[in-house]
């Protein structure tokens, strides 16, 4: 606007510059009447010319295309030049603003958190795709709708009406979804609000697991402590006057103490495996030799109640021997504990499609399909009373899962009730060792 005013001022000054000299000359030649006539003629011609240029300018301003700017010389050329520069500057500013807004919207749409803009009446103005997913809405069809008509949960309606801008709200997804969101309200502009949402389902599951873990550990420790306390109380009452009772009490107390020791050892093992600072120390592992030692341990644990077989290929693997022994030992001890007397257990070390695979196959009770996905959860037991009778802590398969994860491996479970189970630890081919060990002879126990 300032540029246009200065341009018009320039036109007036140029008009004055042209008309006054001509008027002076006419006055000297024809007198006052001639001077007025000359001045009037100049003004008329000038204003006709300026009216034509103004019409050109008006038409151009209706469609201000820089490429179609009027071409003129003199003062009008200067006016058009200034307006053209002003227009180009405005266009560049508008384009820069449009680009900035586009980048901002792209950034908001890319963030993992949901963002929804509401007006003063809590109607939806805009939201990013994440918010559409969180609140189960579609911006194309729900723009302008009251958010409380679409999200009718009483906790959310109350939170929105109170305009609590300091505390977040934990909100569970609508319908059958198990998602959990953290909602926070942010005021901006004139009575506008921004709703920010974050998916905290994973955090909620971790918190649930933490509570369950503490409850399970407390329960697992309370049982042997209760047994030990009971026997201690009995011995305090009877003293050493009943040698047989004294001996049995000590045996039971020792068994319960060993159970607590196994539980503590497994908890420490899990803690070490989950510690991100505990880097995996890798080296070539003589797996055939490791399987041989596992067979000896299994035979000792079985005490002659089972038959053992093995199929062991002569290749090594890159990994951590202590962790692999812990994982493989848990699979073998589970097979021994859950197989009835007279059953068979087979240990297999082989390559399948170029991948190292360790299998433990048993002829035990088998596992129903609905239990298999949860077997690696801490303290999960198919039969709690049966597991305690075998002395298990409920952490063995959780340890197996963590060891395999650290070795980029996976656990596959194939089982049917009454037909036994096969647990397979499948490692990536990149863990094959280039070492060429001598074959290890393993005799069936």
**Where do the structural domains in the chain lie, given as residue ranges?**
2-106, 111-199, 204-274, 283-431
Q: Which residues pair with 411 in a beta bridge?
A: 425
Q: Is 111-199 a CATH 3.30.450.20 domain?
A: yes
Q: What average pLDDT is seen over the chain? A: 81
Residue 442 has pLDDT above 50, yes or no: no
**Does residue 130 or residue 236 have the better pLDDT?**
130
Residue 55 has pLDDT above 80, yes or no: no
Rounded to the nearest 10 degrees, the angle between the axes of helix 243-274 and helix 201-238 is 160
**CATH assignment of 204-274, given 3.40.50.9100, 1.10.240.10, 1.10.287.130, 1.10.645.10?**
1.10.287.130
pLDDT at 321: 95
Give the model's confidence band at 1: pLDDT under 50 very low, under 70 low, under 90 confident, else very high. very low
What is the mean pLDDT of the segment spanning 130-138? 88
Give yes or no on whether 111-199 and 283-431 have one common fold. no
Residue 176 has pLDDT above 80, yes or no: no
Distances in Å between the alpha carbon of 66 and those of 63, 79, 82, 193?
9, 14, 12, 40
Residue 10: HSE in the Cβ half-sphere, 13 Å Cα cutoff: 15
**Does residue 109 or residue 170 have the better pLDDT?**
170
Residues 265-318 pLDDT 10s: 888 888 888 887 888 899 999 999 999 999 999 999 898 999 999 999 999 999
User: Cβ–Cβ contacts within 10 Å for residue 184, how many?
Assistant: 17
Task: Answer whether 315's CB lies under 8 Å from 287's CB.
Answer: yes
pLDDT at 3: 46
Q: What is the pTM of this model?
A: 0.58
**Does residue 197 or residue 248 have the better pLDDT?**
197
pLDDT at 100: 73
- Could you tell me where the DSSP H helices lie in 310-359? 321-337
What is the mean pLDDT of the segment spanning 13-38? 59
What is the mean pLDDT of the segment spanning 174-194? 82
Q: Which residues pair with 351 in a beta bridge?
A: 356
CATH domain 283-431 topology:
Heat Shock Protein 90 (3.30.565)
Residue 8 has pLDDT above 60, yes or no: no
Give the model's confidence band at 390: pLDDT under 50 very low, under 70 low, under 90 confident, else very high. low
What is the mean pLDDT of the segment spanning 353-380? 90
- Give the C-alpha separation, 48 to 46, whole Å: 5
DSSP secondary structure letter of residue 303? T
Q: What percent of the chain has pLDDT over 70?
A: 77
Give the model's confidence band at 73: pLDDT under 50 very low, under 70 low, under 90 confident, else very high. low
Give the model's confidence band at 25: pLDDT under 50 very low, under 70 low, under 90 confident, else very high. low
Q: Which two tokens stand for residue 340?
A: 């009835």
Residues 237-268 pLDDT 10s: 776 677 788 888 888 888 888 888 888 888 88
Residue 358 has pLDDT above 50, yes or no: yes
pLDDT at 209: 76
């Amino acid at each position: 606007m300032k540029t246009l005013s200065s341009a018009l001022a320039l036109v007036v000054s140029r008009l004055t510059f042209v008309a006054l000299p001509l008027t002076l000359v006419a006055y000297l030649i024809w007198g006052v009447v001639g001077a007025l006539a000359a001045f009037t003629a100049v003004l008329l011609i000038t204003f006709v010319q300026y009216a034509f240029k103004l019409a050109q300018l008006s038409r151009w301003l209706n469609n201000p295309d820089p490429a179609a700017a009027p071409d003129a010389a003199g003062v009008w050329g200067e006016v058009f030049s200034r307006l053209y520069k002003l227009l180009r500057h405005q266009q560049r500013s508008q384009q820069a603003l449009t680009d900035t807004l586009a980048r901002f919207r792209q950034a908001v749409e890319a963030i993992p958190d949901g963002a929804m803009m509401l007006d003063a009446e809590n109607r939806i103005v805009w939201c990013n795709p994440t918010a559409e997913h969180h609140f189960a809405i579609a911006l194309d069809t729900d723009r302008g709708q009251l958010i409380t008509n679409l999200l009718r949960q009483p906790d959310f309606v109350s939170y929105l009406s109170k305009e609590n801008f300091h505390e977040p709200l934990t909100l569970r997804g609508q319908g059958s979804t198990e998602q959990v969101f953290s909602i926070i309200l942010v005021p901006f502009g004139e009575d506008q609000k921004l709703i920010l949402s974050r998916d905290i389902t994973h955090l909620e599951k971790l918190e649930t697991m933490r509570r369950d873990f503490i409850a399970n550990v407390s329960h697992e420790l309370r049982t042997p402590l209760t047994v030990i306390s009971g026997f201690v109380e009995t011995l305090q009452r009877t003293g050493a006057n009943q040698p047989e009772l004294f001996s049995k009490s000590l045996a039971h107390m020792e068994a319960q103490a060993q159970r607590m020791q196994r539980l503590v050892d497994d908890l420490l093992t899990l803690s070490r495996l989950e510690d991100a600072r505990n880097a995996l120390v890798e080296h070539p592992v003589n797996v055939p030799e490791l399987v041989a030692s596992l067979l000896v341990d299994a035979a000792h644990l079985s005490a002659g109640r089972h038959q053992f077989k093995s199929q062991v290929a002569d290749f090594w693997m890159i990994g951590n021997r202590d962790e692999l022994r812990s994982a493989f030992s848990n699979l073998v001890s589970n097979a021994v504990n859950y197989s009835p007397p007279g059953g068979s257990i087979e240990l297999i070390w082989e390559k399948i499609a170029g991948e190292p695979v360790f299998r433990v196959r048993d002829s035990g009770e088998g596992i129903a399909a609905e239990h298999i996905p949860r077997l690696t959860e801490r303290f999960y037991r198919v039969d709690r009373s049966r597991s305690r009778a075998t002395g298990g802590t409920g952490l063995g398969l959780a340890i197996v899962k963590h060891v395999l994860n650290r070795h980029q491996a996976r656990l596959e479970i194939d089982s049917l009730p009454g037909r036994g189970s096969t647990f397979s630890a499948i490692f990536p081919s990149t863990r094959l060792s280039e070492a060429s060990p001598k074959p290890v002879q393993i005799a069936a126990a």
